[in-house]
Structure 1
């Protein structure tokens, strides 16, 4: 979080700002403009903590939330609206993260309006607090505000959020001298401050009272017990720039060269977060050396420990780190560091997925050959790592694609991430993340002119659109995939796309176009002698022609499907196709033929030993006999169906009991 290091470095105790806290708590109770006019407040109360980066904005917001959390029993939800480097976070992405925390299923590929509506609906019935950290402007924050007067929104921003009505602002400057000295003392200890209180006052004055600068100054002194407070104040006066920049430059210059390089390279870490593996890959050092250096940085106030071995560079320091990176490191070295980080991430994701494979599988044998630092002991450990690193991994994929120079590594990273998410969470649970990842693949494929990859990405996106009911969107993607498959001369992609286009038209009720596209797909399967696909497409054509009322064509396709399944040795498929043929004959007013075909289907279901299918066909046969005026025979078939289903239930109960034993 922006300014999180202010609260996290050294002691986590909160210093000063009591007047601001009191005013913010009073603002929660203060009557709003709507209430003064006699109307109930239409939405949550919005409090604003405004100030420069490094002023402790987020720390104050968190302290306020902690002090009033008991009044909001439905919880606290947080989202950051600015990347550590200062780039605005799209509102849709922030909404997705909030929905995940709220436990609300997100439709894959949903538009921003739909996502923000889901957020407001989820928060609408809750007495909860929403923290919007580092908001850029009102347009970014306003769609997320709950339409519920019992909720509280605490926004953190540089300045006013003009456009949101009745916002209660609290603008921060520096800490008062007493509180700033207390914050400094938490890092240095009391002795050095007590022996020279005037130097301590001069030092915090040089820091402008900014908590971010005071924390860095305290960390610098903590690492140099022989240096006086007055000496540090003198050094700061000799630096150029604002107080935060001067304190950072002094801290950076004091680091050994290898550590300073690691610190600068943290600006390349996704979301500004790095564990020992990420820092090791970026700097080209050992994992153990990176872990030790990150822990030292935390003690110096340069990073904040977020738990599970991960550290975060404060948002107010990331622009300064980037500036030093551009000044001191050659572009080729920076690009090599990015490539090392992506390669290490790919290997970790491959290991994360491989541990879910059965013992003795090729993936597990390959996993055993990896260095110990890259292996996960159990699937549970891998799943915990994947869950905790998920936001950073998704950000890493976005960064890799945006870079534009590492597209091969970007494609490998995305493919590995897709497989890991699917292996641990299942395709359904991972679908919202997969949608965004497939869109990234599509971006790379279009940029590089990779028609095969473009077709694959479009097919995957079309499948996700179709699954969430956006059939017209899916249809467009499938048609584009067909064109890309033709450009790539890829029979699989074109065949799959044609069949999917037909399925979309079928879903839309356009039977003629559905039949046309299924026919194109069938022609390709016939040309390549792909018999299983041929049989499946004959069933699709039979279904479409049945819906369209063209019973002659439908019967021909169902007969062809039955023959295809019989040649493949798929007896249940053969029986089902005959059953559908019997249904078409009945629709066409040929009940006697339907009866004979249905009897044939029953026989094939019996040979296939598919009890449930046989019972279903017996019931259909009974219905046909009723319509033909033979109720006695119909009763016999219904009784036979009941006996089959009863035997199936008995067998299931026996198997269940054995399993429990």
Structure 2
């Protein structure tokens, strides 16, 4: 029996994960677990309705086959839960707990539900509970490190079931049904060995085979290594392996067998195996192994396949070659690496891996940005092994390696000695994700990356990078409705930009502070901050940005009902756009000026400005804006009592929208309050 290979930093929504061959053993445990599902809970016995999903616990050491048992239970009962099966891994390969926020976000993604970037743990778990309320779903929470993780993810749905896998009890969760695993029974253990080695060596010496099972204590992970070793040594008898393990009586069976397998590997393969301890999230592909060991990609791929055959790795079901380091082997690989490799060599291997990741991300981004000749030329100069066949192949790689790439960024920042590489990695990761998935779709991942950038910038005293990270984080906060939090970060970015003497960061921060105040309804402060940003742009003779800021000041005055000030600033914006030759922006500014004139009670003036805006929109080939302006002309004429003149404008708008399948432009500001001033 083998643990089901799962994504070590994510979830899957699947009714029946594939397994290699039939499930072995654990008949009694499965029977008890299925009976526990049917058994009435404490709340039911007390005459109360259960408030939450029932929890079954499968407890055992890593390598005991606990995940495989959980997967088999899920396979057997999945048809009772029509709303599907959700899976989440709650710890990293080194045993570090996965933050509940990340697990909840991945579960929401598996449900195809939005998880706003930057949302905290409470918001995400509440959204998850809301999503699962009233559903009949099955959750598999693998490798939980404590009751707090499981408790936070439990749905308020009595008809749902949560199967938790852990090394110990989940104290604090009421009415948990525990199932503690030992070793496999002898018959199942022998069948597993037979599957791996063939039947001859098992049947010719059944006593030696039973002795080997006893030495392995029936632990599936140990039996897998034993079977892999025997398969790789076809002339060795089962008794030979049992004797070697018996002679080396130091340590647990897994330790002894790992030492034997490791010692028998060729030196290059043994070194690759040890260095896989450094693989982010325990996920390895040929490029990762190649970079860690400093060998070719082809040689690394062959070695990974050989290590998989020996039971040292598990192949991941993915569109590209990818492998997982079993959690039970992670501490053994770490100990072996620290014994056989000098600290400087380990640091160099980690640096090579991060450098390779940076170059792959550059190539991945270049595959999507084929219109940029410089990027295309740079991609052509890369080695063939680092190039992607096309945008689709690059996107598949980025999607498949996403957990490992995000883990690599976290590990690089946590290392503290590779901050330059960490900054390059995060920069390329952001650009690649935006190029392939778009800013909006990638925002949840990018928010975490920007926080890592901020950590490095603060640690290294880099005010320019700190300002950039704060601006990026604040932008996401602002887009997701956390305007007050965004305002705090924009002000901090302004301080960092001033410290770095970075005019772009300071100007951008001042404008963003104004935008936050505008969103909060403080129009006076908004106009003041836009004015400060405008003064800087004018001092630097940045006419295009200055025109845009005149428009933002005008919008703040419009919201406040100060139509005279709004009109003056829109006219200043128009002058700037005219000088810069921005026809589309000129058309939009005329549209907004016409709107302000209408609000100010000057419909005839608004009508003339709107007609001028239509002409400019036509020159700019802005069809949505043309349609919106034609509709506004029709509305204005009807209010002026001339419905006959309004009809051709409405017909023109409908013709544009019908011909192009468009909707009217909604870029204009909405008036939230009015005032008797001006």
Q: Does 1:427 align with 2:435?
A: no
Matches within 5 A, 1:334-349: 334-349=346-361
Distance 1:341 1:301, change over 3 A: same
Distance 1:35 1:345, change over 3 A: same
Distance 1:365 1:243, change over 3 A: same
1:304 is aligned to 314
Match of 2:180 among 171, 175, 187: 171
The whole-number CA distance in structure 2 between the counterparts of 1:526 and 1:2 is: 68
Segment drifting more, 462-471 vs 143-152: 143-152
1:235-267, Cα deviation, whole Å (9 max, x unpaired): 212331112211211211121221111111111
TM-score (norm: length of structure 1): 0.92
Q: Does 1:641 align with 2:653?
A: no
1:562 is aligned to 574
SS at match of 2:316: strand
Matches within 5 A, 1:14-25: 14-25=23-34
TM-score (norm: length of structure 2): 0.90
The whole-number CA distance in structure 2 between the counterparts of 1:381 and 1:112 is: 34
The whole-number CA distance in structure 1 between the counterparts of 2:625 and 2:65 is: 68
CA drift at 1:196: 1.7
1:443 is aligned to 455
Match of 2:426 among 400, 411, 414: 414
Distance 1:286 1:570, change over 3 A: closer
1:92-124, Cα deviation, whole Å (9 max, x unpaired): 111122112111111001100111122222233
Say whether the 8 Å CA contact 1:445–1:451 is kept in structure 2.
yes
Match of 2:304 among 294, 300, 314: 294
Match of 2:526 among 505, 514, 518: 514
The whole-number CA distance in structure 2 between the counterparts of 1:37 and 1:604 is: 73
CA drift at 1:636: 5.4
Q: Does 1:468 align with 2:480?
A: yes
Distance 1:184 1:511, change over 3 A: same
Aligned residues: 646
Distance 1:516 1:179, change over 3 A: same
Matches within 5 A, 1:555-594: 555-571=567-583, 573-574=585-586, 576-581=588-593, 583-584=595-596, 587-588=599-600, 591=602
1:530 is aligned to 542
Matches within 5 A, 1:387-398: 387-398=399-410
Q: Does 1:114 align with 2:123?
A: yes
CA drift at 1:649: 5.0
Match of 2:278 among 248, 252, 268: 268
SS at match of 1:355: helix
Unaligned runs of 5+ residues in structure 1 are 655-661
Distance 1:651 1:118, change over 3 A: closer
Segment drifting more, 104-113 vs 414-423: 414-423
Say whether the 8 Å CA contact 1:2–1:315 is kept in structure 2.
no
1:36-57, Cα deviation, whole Å (9 max, x unpaired): 1122222222111101111111
2:14 is aligned to none
The whole-number CA distance in structure 1 between the counterparts of 2:143 and 2:630 is: 67
SS at match of 1:609: helix
Match of 2:389 among 372, 377, 394: 377
Say whether the 8 Å CA contact 1:9–1:304 is kept in structure 2.
no
Say whether the 8 Å CA contact 2:221–2:254 is kept in structure 1.
yes
Segment drifting more, 642-651 vs 14-23: 642-651
The whole-number CA distance in structure 2 between the counterparts of 1:40 and 1:447 is: 52
The whole-number CA distance in structure 2 between the counterparts of 1:99 and 1:652 is: 36
Segment drifting more, 335-344 vs 239-248: 239-248
The whole-number CA distance in structure 1 between the counterparts of 2:260 and 2:584 is: 77
The whole-number CA distance in structure 2 between the counterparts of 1:209 and 1:612 is: 70
CA drift at 1:21: 0.8
Segment drifting more, 410-419 vs 558-567: 558-567
Q: Superposition RMSD on alpha carbons, in Å?
A: 2.6
Match of 2:376 among 333, 355, 364: 364
1:658 is aligned to none
Match of 1:26 among 35, 49, 74: 35
Matches within 5 A, 1:104-253: 104-239=113-248, 240-253=250-263
CA drift at 1:366: 2.5
SS at match of 1:317: helix
The whole-number CA distance in structure 2 between the counterparts of 1:319 and 1:653 is: 60
Q: Does 1:353 align with 2:361?
A: no
The whole-number CA distance in structure 1 between the counterparts of 2:312 and 2:633 is: 78
SS at match of 1:130: strand
SS at match of 1:391: helix
Matches within 5 A, 1:81-120: 81-120=90-129
Distance 1:604 1:132, change over 3 A: closer
1:625-650, Cα deviation, whole Å (9 max, x unpaired): 777xx63xx34542452353255357
Say whether the 8 Å CA contact 1:11–1:187 is kept in structure 2.
no
Say whether the 8 Å CA contact 1:2–1:134 is kept in structure 2.
no
Say whether the 8 Å CA contact 1:266–1:274 is kept in structure 2.
yes
Unaligned runs of 5+ residues in structure 2 are 7-16, 663-678
